[in-house]
Structures are given as structure tokens and as C-alpha cells.
Structure 1
């Protein structure tokens, strides 16, 4: 659907303390959810016209579930031109029967798309096989259990598993393609939950300047759990295509950052991840409910009638309420065990307290779990019940909204014992319904709301005696204590609403974007300009770093073997009589000779400029001969001390420098030890010796102050007075010395210089251009070599 069909609106000020400046250039939010919030059905059968076209009459009804999510998104409508983008889901005919997706004609889709667009929804159409493999296959059998700390304990068909993964990617690509169709430069894209984790990277690759937010509504596991996912790197990289990633709690955000550090090896801070130079903001954004809507619903006459019936039914009894999906993570089994423990350890409450437990069917049926729940309830009722008293009342079905709010309103205690939970709306709705009764809330510490609802009584659902004691304490609270706890909970629920959550997330996304835009970006290498200047030049100097420039960074340095294509292109460049080609690397002479010595007419600078070998020469020149190297013993002693205390670290001893590597150490501990080591070197070595500390990628290197890559470039330029073209490529801090020298060359006013760093455009660098990867440098080498022959 072309973007011209969308209606623009102005940006207003967001209330509830989440103000967005009206001068923001972003005026539209594209909210990408797995499903649009509506079910679509035909209000009457299709009507064929005389010209052969068919008229469809569509109608909508709100989809059940995800009320907090949709309420938050809807709240953006007043300030933004806000749209839903999602799977259309099941479509129903005039008799309310599902229509097979295979029967969707183009005319059918176009009609439905136009209708939904009027309701600010953009549908994504999927085949049944696609949706099944994506949702039931990968999302619900792989990601959902893993995110809730459940490891797969059944033998699966590897081919089916791989097919589901491919379908997951295909569906994510379909969502990406839909955004590409409707995207405008004034758009903010907000992606929701684990169904669409690959979309941020796919969208970033297609639209590099897009503003992308991602929010995960589920828990996010620690690295010990998440690393079990075979596609862990692809999923993390997919998520890191976003500008900002939000989670329900700080602990989930911390787990994500830890995964990026431990699995991908990226640098991080408590508030973000440095994904190859692109800073991705990460933080907690606790979601709430539509408090105003709940307030209206709970005061309806129908709710009042249901409340009277419940009070009459359980007259003289204190009521404990639980409402959960029948999933393993919701802790229904634990709740029943704890309630039995309560009746056993506090017999004075027998015949005075009832537990009303409502369990709605889970997305994936579990007959075994249903059977265990039924058996436990029968055991409790059989042990502690009588003709006049039934301790546990269980209803395993969806209940109407009036019954639900009535139940929450008459309760004396709300009991939530989830063993793992992202957000739990029942806890918030319970607080809203207790404005007259002040019933305390007992809440599992493993829920996503535990960090927000501090006035609730926190319990460990696995500690049955502890939960039983919490029930007894809650029943014995004085009216004043109950009221104080309730007022604290109520203040939080009514301030941190779904609307506040949505507006705060968008506000922070815009702020983080404006902050990042304050830094200059490096333009992408202008290939046409490069080739034009290259062909016109007569005497060229080509300078290449090795690790991270001609080959990707690897965990084990000895595995950075040059690819054949790179060797071939390097030889072609060296064969050109107009070219002087140098490898300026931190590697030692032996490695450079072994890997690149077969290329004729190639110059080498080893150990960051400490050793030189000119093209077509067999002799290495040692530039450190007149430098006192006795400092190496002191540095070696310090490095040895930290190596013995940092598992996975190692020392690389070169003739002119010494490096401590911690790439294979625990990322967090390795970084901590590196800082300690750096502090020790700066206090014990730097003040008295002519050396400097170089902070590399997962390493610390100590080298003579007077020797660096920049000094080598100066030497080469001085010896080539007639040079008129320089191409210099590098990726890390040591290469900035080369870029700095080439930026300050007043004696070479006519020099055409292309300094190029490998990394994202936002990377801080002195280079004039950037490319994204070593593979692109190799392709650039090929284009240069081929252009000289054309």
C-alpha cells in the first residue's frame, strides 16, 4: 500500500510527565505487533456486481487479550499519526466461519486492506503453513519456553526444527517488506515482542536511517539459559538492529546486555550495547494497564450484581482469589501446594477461608498439567472440606469480564505465584478493584511486576511454608496496614499506566536518537569518486591494516587466516606498477611472512611500526634498536600476575611490545581485570618509562611511545615525494594514528587521500570514509584492481 494513502497529523505534547517536543520531525508511529488488535468478519455475504467485481462488507470486533499493549498503543493516537502493522489473523465469513487463507484472492486482499487502513491498521497476509511454523512452531515451542527458563526436554525432528526457524525468518521478512512499502522518513517504527526479533536488523539493512524501537513483553533469560538456543547469535544480532530495546524489568535488560557481551563479545554499559560502533540503548520500561477503563468497568451495575451473588455464596468466609493461564510458569501447582500448607499449619482458618482459582486455557494444551491440578484440588477438598465447606473452588474456562471484576472486588487477598512472568495484569487490576476493601496482594518475586509493586507481600512460590505464612499474615493485617499498602499500590498503578508506558518509551527513543545525532557521522565510501581519482593518479600508496580490516576479528588470533580472494586482490594491486602496497599491522614478522610473504612487491610494517620490510626486500629493519627495551620485564611481570588470576587470558610477547589478551575470558570479569591491570600499569610503569598503553579489542598492549603506525606513514610519505593518491584502511585505535597523519599533510596539498575505517557511520574516527565490514574492503580492492585493467 503506497504511503501516500496515509493521513498525516501533527505531534502534540504527551501528558503524564512524558513530554515530547512538538518540533520533532517524527510525526508517525508504525506499531508492529504479531496480530492486529481486531478480528475481521463479513457483516453480510459478498455481492458480485455486473462488471464482475465483488463487493465485500467488512466489520471488526476487538481481539481478546493484550489489552495493556493495545491500550498503550491507542494512547499515541492523540499525539501521533499511529498505525498498527500486523498479521491479519483468522478472517470470518458472514456465518462466522473461518475462511482459509488459500482462498484469499488479490481482490479479496485489496478490499480487506483498504477497509483496515480506514481503521489505522496495515495487514500482513501469511499462508497457513507460514503462520503455523512461525507461531506454533518456533515462537511457542522454542522461544517462549526458553524465555521462561524452560529447556526443551523432548527429542525433536531436526528437519522440522530447521524448517520452523526458516519460516520464522520468512515471516519476519514479510513484516519487514510491509514496513518498507509504507515507510516515510518521518516515521518511528515500534516492534513488539519475541515474534519479530529478526525485524530490527532486516529493517536496518533495508533502511539504514530508520528509527526503530523494540519492546520485549516476555521475560528475558540469563546467558546460561539463552546460550542453549542454536540460533542465539542470529537472534541477538536481529534485536540489535534497533535504536532502543525495552524490557519489563531492569533484570531482564541486564540479562540481554550480558548475553550480548558473553555471546557476541560486544562492549556494553548498564544502559546499552556497542554493536560494532552502533550504540543501542537498553533499559526497563514497566508496562501498566488502562486504569481509567478498568475504573469504569468495575463500577458497572452488572459487576455489582455479581459481587452480591459471590458475597452471598461465600458468606462468612474470607476469599483468596487467583486467576492464571494454565501454563507451567504461572505457578498454579505451587499455589495449591501452598494453600494446602496454609490449611495444615494454620488450622484455625479451616472453614473460614476459600480459594477461588480461575484458570483460563493455555495456548498450548497440557492434559498432564490439567490432571495434576484436578488431583491436587480433589485432595485438598477431600482432606479439609466437608458438606458445608469446600476449600478450593476451581473454574477452568474463560470468564466474562463482569464476573472477573466482581471476583477481584470481593476478594480479601489476591494470590499470584508465577514461577516466571513478564507482565501480570491481574495484579494491577486487582489493585484497582480493591479501593473499598483494601485487600492485600501476595505476589511472586519472579513476576515482572515484582520490581514495581513494592507494597505487595513478596513470596517465593517454591517456598510453600513461606507462602502459607504470607497468607496468614495478610489475613491478620489491621485495617490501617491494609489501607497503607493499598494506597502505595494504587498510586503506582494509576500513574504508571499503559498510556504512560507507551509515551515514555517513544519519548526516550526520540531523546536517544537526538543525542546520537549530535555526533557527526562518517559517510559511506564514495566508490565512484574513489575509482575516478584512482584511475587518474600516477603514483599511489595503498595502506592496509590486517586484523579487522582484511580479515574479521576472531576469538583465537591464530585463526585469522587470509581468505583466498583477499590474497588474489592484494597480488593484483601489488602487480600494478603505479602502486606501492603496504600491510601496516600489529602482527609480528613471522606471522606476516607466513600468511602474506608469498605476495610479491608487498611492503610490511610489523608490531605497529616497530619493524619494516620494503617491497622486494628480504631484510627487516628494526626501528627499536636504539630504544631501551628493559621495561618489558616489568610489564611481563604485571601481565603474568593478571593472567594467573584471569581464566582464559594470555600474554603475547613480541620483540618490541607485549600484549595481554582477555578475549576468551569471562567478558565482565575480563573487562574488570583489564581496568585493574591498566590502573596498575599507569601507576607503576608509565611515570618512569618511555612507553604507552594501547587499549585494543579485548587486549592491553604496551609499546614504545615513539613507535606507532602514524610514524610509519610519515616515513613512507617522506620517501615518496611524487605520491599523488593514498588509500588507507583500518579499524581500530592504532589505525587512527595513520588517519591523523594523513589528515595533517600540509606538504602534500595535491594528494588525493581516502582514509577509510571499518565500522558503522556513528563510529568516532579521524577517517573520512567508512565501510561496514572487511568483506567490503576486499570488494573495494577488487574494484580498484579491475579498474586499472579496464
Structure 2
């Protein structure tokens, strides 16, 4: 370790080594196998890295030491802390809560106190190790408070966090008494990684419910009291993988291949060997699997002469009561099924309650015809990927729960709902009957994915994304954003001057993120009540004094339906390609003129974008009268970047331009923008002054056409050319209220009123 510290520090609950103490009290260690170690070791060796973690034993103190080119920094925990922080809060509170409450979580304040105390110790150890401007990567649910604690101690460093388990929906997470503290702890990171897009979406929705931070796509904005963005946090999916090449090479070794044949011999040479490999955990669906298999034997759809099930159940958290109960239930079920259906030389189930080295696991995978992954909830499940990597012979079948992260990636597995025992039985039987041709077809598809997207790519992608995040220390005056903060004195004066103008004032605004708060489901977006009242007040002014206009990227019909704007409001949809006006029965549309050539070109664009969307999870296409739009906000960071680049290439190939916003790429056949549409509307109305409010990148085109007598207001964070800024939608509504009062005051003054 250099005197300046380590450029990269990994913080995880456990060190990548196992400690032992001999009778003389001497401490020794040996490296523990694991995919995370394999993924990070080359990066850490190159970066002069340190690994902070618990040594695995109570009250065992050890100084930092060098191992395999890394500095290992042991964190000492006493027996009470292990019981309360690890077995208690981590594994009897957070684990069941984050796994959809398959088992009831326990909430104890003393556990929470221990969790905070231990997280602080980890944060302090990391703060000492990391170099100025370095990177800290925190791992998993045991350490969710470390990012914010570390940011307090070291605001100069980049902080990443990766959640290896699922993140639950808000309705489940909200049960946690300390929900806000956990979210605030995670938001200390610059980049928060999850296994699935759905987990990232759950987190972002929880942030919106529990904090005042604004979100746009995958980005959470921290703002100061002026609305200036001072820090951003990105929450994205980074599906973890395994050392695919290494496991493939291990499974090809002659001794492993020979051991696989020996295993089949020892099991009595059945036609079909089924394999389950799990920690003994209630989230893994082991009971459901055994129940379905027992019923298949009972129904005569499978027989013990042709089929056997090998269940490897590694010991797990044996001091936690729920796990002791699970072991009793599983072993009772196995004994009953073996008693009912086993024969001499043909056991129905071979139950193995211990762990195996990688070589034995690789041989088991090669020997097995079907692997059963029936988790009730799983962040990823790497057993599925290990099985695929081991099958260089392109044989075998994978039954995979749709509630695993792996189900999002492994196109070729037989997906199943493990809660549906009848469906589970059908899928297990189908897997057992797959023809060799069907096995090869599926396994080749699975291997292409697993061998390409390995754990090295996972760690590289996460760290490169983290490296690209700007490091901006949080200013001391940073607030969550005062949702009721009014416009500044300078902006109030500008609005008063605008209202006092001789002639027509055009009041124009974007819809989403300005008049309507951003929501999870875009179809449920509505103008806020306060903004609606303010718009109504302005709309009641004579048309010679003020006109309202909504300028949006949404299509005209959707904009009219969702905004419910006052009568007479001018509508500009699809970034200017559509025009209309609100009437008593809906809206009147100005016909959109599209030539035959433009229509043909639009069809080609739409087909191309649909093809791009089909290659990336969470990417979808919106069709408009004169454009097609690629939306990437629900995709992974890597997938969004690839889809965006492909859309740009498509536009270049077709000879058209793109209009890009946050997490969207719009390709138009009619050259429009919010700026062109606003400028044309101003000229048409003869407006002498304009107020324009916008929050998106596309609103910068509108800001660009405004002059010195106009007022431009950016709503929310991000770079802008607008002259003024307000924090959010409530502040935007207050601004419109003030303008409405100022316009009324002008009328009274000119009519001789008070």
C-alpha cells in the first residue's frame, strides 16, 4: 500500500480469505473461492487495491496484510455484533424483507443500533485506506449505510454500491421502520447497481416516495436551495455473472470428466439425473422442488429406475431459527419420499447437506441431465450460469424460476413459476424428455450469453460507469429541495416586468416535470392541482393580454387528455410537429401534413427502432405522426448506451437527424423542435413577451429562441442556458400563480381600479 492510500477499495461483509487460529493462538489464512474475488482481483492488483471486510470469527483482531497483490483490511466484530448486525438485522430483518417477505422479517431496535455501529466501522476503515480522489466499491445489503457515512468522511472519492440481492417494491420496503435512513445511506453513493431493471425501478420509486429528490430516468438529482444541481446519483442494472472461461476450462479437465462418469456409476446409471444446488435457504424453493418431484413419482410420470434427484443443500446461517426449521422440513420430506418410492440401488433423492469444492461441482454439472433452479426470489442465481458454463458438450436442460435475475438473461432456459406445483411438475417432466437436438439448440443459445457476459465484463462495466460519474462534493447548504420554495426576488421582478409589458404575453410551458410531477407510469401523469389553478387564472385573462401554450414531446391527443388544460390553451405536441387548441369538447387539431415519401421513410425508421428495441431489455418504441421515439430509461446503463448509439447509426444511414432528450432518441421525418414551434407561435400571435418553463434537454431549443425581454426558467437540475431556475413542479406552480396575480394587477391599474 502506498503512503497516499489505495486507488480502489472494495468493502464487503467478508474478506476473500478464511482465517483459522491454531492451538498456540497463531492466525493463518487461506483464500476462499468466489466469483467476486475472481472478478475484482485483476482490477485491484492493477489499481493497488485494498479489500475491507470481516475476518469471519468473533473477537479476532488482525492487522492489514498483503495477499495476492491486494491489501486485506480485517474488520473486527464481537460476538454480540455478529448476533445482532449479521444474524439479526442483516439476515432476519433485511433478507426476508428484500425477498418479498417469504418469511416474516423481525424488527428490533437493538439490531438496528448494531447495524449502524458496524456500518460506521466499515466506513471508517475504508476512509483510511482510499487515496485522494480514489474509488470505493461497497457490496451488498449488510452495508447499506456505508456510502453516506463514507461520503461524510471522504467527499473527495467516488463511491459505488452494488446490491447482490433483490430490492423490493416500495409497498414491502415501507414496512422497515428505518426505511428513510437506509435510502439516505444508499444515496451517499454515486452509482448504485442492481441485478435487474425491476430492482432499480423499485429503488427509484422508493426514492420518489421517501425523499424530495427529483428523478429523471435512472438519475436522482441533488439540488441546492436555488435549484442548482450539485450532485447526481445513478441507479442502474448491472447483472452479475461468473468466471465463465475459468469454469468452462475446469469442467473440460480430464479428471473432472472422469469424475462425472464415476458419479453416474455411483448413482446406479439412471437415464436422467436431476440436480439442485442451493444454500439451505427458504428463498430457494427447495421444498417446492421436492414436493413436485415426489408428486411426479407418485403419478408415475417419472420412476426411480430411470430418474434420480441429487439435492446439494449447503449449510447456511444455522444459528437462525427459520433455517433450522427449514432443514427439518426438507429432511423430513426427503425421508418420506425415499421411504415411499426408493428401491435397493435406486434412491429417489440423494440429499447432501454440505459444500463441495469447484472441481466436484463441475463434475456434478457434467453428470446431470437437468438442473432445477426453483428460487421463490433470487437476485441472480449463479448456479444456473455455472451449469451452462460447464456444459461444453451442449447437452442438458435448465429449469429456471422466473423470479430469478437470471431469467431476464437466459433465453433458452425452461422458465417456471415455482409456486404453481402443477406447472412445475409439467416443466420438470418436459426437461427430462427434451430431445438431444432440442438440448443442443437451447444450450448453445445459453452458452453464447454466459460465455460473452462474464464476471470480468460485469466488474469492468460497473467501474467504468462509476468512473464516468462526476465527483461533486455535496455543499453544506444542500437541502432535499424545498418543495414549496417560491421564485427568487430577481425572478419575481422579471415576471412583474413581463406582466407590465404593453401587448400580448405568451405563457408557454413543457408538461411533464414542469406542470405535472414525474411519475412511474407516464399514462398516469396529470397537471398538479396548484398548477391547474394557476393556469386557469392566466387563461381567464383577455386574449389580448395573455395566451397559454403547452409545448411537449408527447403526441397531441395524449397531451390534451393528460394536461386537462383550460379552454383556449394552445397545444404543441411531438416537439412541434402537431398543433391544436383546447375546446369544450376536447381539442381541435391542425392537420399534420406528411408526404408519401415521408410516410415511407417513417415506416423504415419505426421498423429499425423496433429491431433495436428487441435486442435490449427495457427499451421500447413510441410512434408519433411524424416521428418514432426510442425510450431507454428502463434499460441498463450499458443497454441504453448501445441502443442509443444504434439509433443514431440508423438515423445517419437513412439521412435524417435525431432529437435527443433524457433517455430518449426521437427520429423525425418533419424537421421540428420546441424552439422552432415556439418561435412560430410567437410570430403568429404577435406576442411582445414570452415566459417559457422547461425541464428537459429538448427545452433548451425553446430557451435558445427567447430574447432579452423574455423570461426563461429551468425547472429542476441539469445544465441549461435558461436565465432562471426553480427546484421543482411546486415551485413552478408558485411562479405561475405570481404571474397570474401580476397580470390581474396590470389590468386593474389600466382600468383605473385599485
TM tier relative to shorter chain:
0.5 to 0.7
Which of 69, 79, 98 matches 1:147? 98
TM-superposed CA distance for 1:154, in Å, is: 6.8
Provide the C-alpha distance between the structure 1 equivalents of 2:463 and 2:70, rounded to a whole number of angstroms. Answer: 22
Which of 47, 59, 62 matches 2:31? 62
TM-superposed CA distance for 1:30, in Å, is: 1.0
**Structure-to-structure mapping, 1:181-580, within 5 angstroms:** 181-276=128-223, 277=229, 278-298=231-251, 299=253, 301=255, 304-305=258-259, 307-344=261-298, 347=301, 349=303, 351-363=305-317, 364-365=320-321, 366-387=323-344, 389-436=346-393, 438-510=395-467, 512-513=468-469, 516=470, 553=481, 557=484
Paired residues of 1:88 and 1:124 also in contact (CA < 8 A): yes
**Using a 3 Å threshold, how does the CA distance of structure 1 residues 292 and 58 change in structure 2: closer, same or farther?**
farther
SS at 2:408's partner residue? coil
SS at 2:3's partner residue? helix
Provide the C-alpha distance between the structure 1 equivalents of 2:415 and 2:166, rounded to a whole number of angstroms. Answer: 18
**Using a 3 Å threshold, how does the CA distance of structure 1 residues 171 and 155 change in structure 2: closer, same or farther?**
closer
Provide the C-alpha distance between the structure 2 equivalents of 1:710 and 1:171, rounded to a whole number of angstroms. Answer: 58
SS at 2:313's partner residue? strand
Aligned pair count reads: 573
Provide the C-alpha distance between the structure 2 equivalents of 1:696 and 1:406, rounded to a whole number of angstroms. Answer: 57
**2:598 matched to which residue of 1?**
none
**2:693 matched to which residue of 1?**
694
Provide the C-alpha distance between the structure 2 equivalents of 1:286 and 1:522, rounded to a whole number of angstroms. Answer: 29
SS at 2:185's partner residue? helix
Q: Which one has a bigger Cα radius of gyration? A: 1
**Structure-to-structure mapping, 1:666-685, within 5 angstroms:** 676-677=562-563, 681-682=571-572, 683=579
SS at 1:357's partner residue? strand
Provide the C-alpha distance between the structure 2 equivalents of 1:203 and 1:130, rounded to a whole number of angstroms. Answer: 20
TM-score (norm 2): 0.65
Paired residues of 1:609 and 1:709 also in contact (CA < 8 A): no
**Using a 3 Å threshold, how does the CA distance of structure 1 residues 251 and 523 change in structure 2: closer, same or farther?**
closer
**Using a 3 Å threshold, how does the CA distance of structure 1 residues 29 and 328 change in structure 2: closer, same or farther?**
same
**2:624 matched to which residue of 1?**
none
**Using a 3 Å threshold, how does the CA distance of structure 1 residues 696 and 491 change in structure 2: closer, same or farther?**
closer
Paired residues of 1:456 and 1:489 also in contact (CA < 8 A): yes
**Using a 3 Å threshold, how does the CA distance of structure 1 residues 441 and 484 change in structure 2: closer, same or farther?**
same
Provide the C-alpha distance between the structure 2 equivalents of 1:442 and 1:351, rounded to a whole number of angstroms. Answer: 22
SS at 1:286's partner residue? coil
SS at 1:88's partner residue? strand
SS at 1:60's partner residue? strand
**1:75 matched to which residue of 2?**
42
**2:619 matched to which residue of 1?**
none
**Using a 3 Å threshold, how does the CA distance of structure 1 residues 179 and 78 change in structure 2: closer, same or farther?**
closer
Paired residues of 2:85 and 2:114 also in contact (CA < 8 A): yes
Provide the C-alpha distance between the structure 2 equivalents of 1:187 and 1:196, rounded to a whole number of angstroms. Answer: 19
**Structure-to-structure mapping, 1:109-128, within 5 angstroms:** 109=62, 112-114=63-65, 119-128=70-79
- Structure 1: unaligned runs, 5 residues or longer: 9-27, 47-56, 91-98, 526-547, 561-584, 588-603, 613-621, 660-671, 701-706, 713-729, 742-755, 760-790
Which of 54, 59, 84 matches 1:133? 84
**Using a 3 Å threshold, how does the CA distance of structure 1 residues 82 and 203 change in structure 2: closer, same or farther?**
same
Provide the C-alpha distance between the structure 1 equivalents of 2:720 and 2:276, rounded to a whole number of angstroms. Answer: 65
**Using a 3 Å threshold, how does the CA distance of structure 1 residues 45 and 522 change in structure 2: closer, same or farther?**
closer
TM-superposed CA distance for 1:306, in Å, is: 6.2
**Using a 3 Å threshold, how does the CA distance of structure 1 residues 243 and 308 change in structure 2: closer, same or farther?**
same
TM-score (norm 1): 0.62
Which has the larger displacement, 236-245 or 412-421?
236-245
Paired residues of 1:188 and 1:210 also in contact (CA < 8 A): yes
**Using a 3 Å threshold, how does the CA distance of structure 1 residues 121 and 376 change in structure 2: closer, same or farther?**
same
Q: RMSD in angstroms over aligned alpha carbons?
A: 4.7
Paired residues of 1:29 and 1:81 also in contact (CA < 8 A): yes
- Structure 2: unaligned runs, 5 residues or longer: 224-228, 540-557, 573-578, 582-677, 700-705, 729-754
Paired residues of 1:440 and 1:474 also in contact (CA < 8 A): yes
Provide the C-alpha distance between the structure 1 equivalents of 2:273 and 2:216, rounded to a whole number of angstroms. Answer: 47
SS at 1:218's partner residue? coil
Provide the C-alpha distance between the structure 1 equivalents of 2:51 and 2:127, rounded to a whole number of angstroms. Answer: 14
**1:31 matched to which residue of 2?**
10
SS at 2:410's partner residue? coil
- Could you report, residue by residue, the CA deviation over 1:273-312 in whole angstroms, capped at 9, with x for unpaired residues? 2243322223222222223443454326377346414324
TM-superposed CA distance for 1:261, in Å, is: 2.5
Higher relative contact order, structure no. (Cα contacts within 8 Å, ≥ 6 residues apart): 2
Provide the C-alpha distance between the structure 2 equivalents of 1:369 and 1:238, rounded to a whole number of angstroms. Answer: 32
SS at 1:29's partner residue? strand
**Using a 3 Å threshold, how does the CA distance of structure 1 residues 80 and 673 change in structure 2: closer, same or farther?**
farther
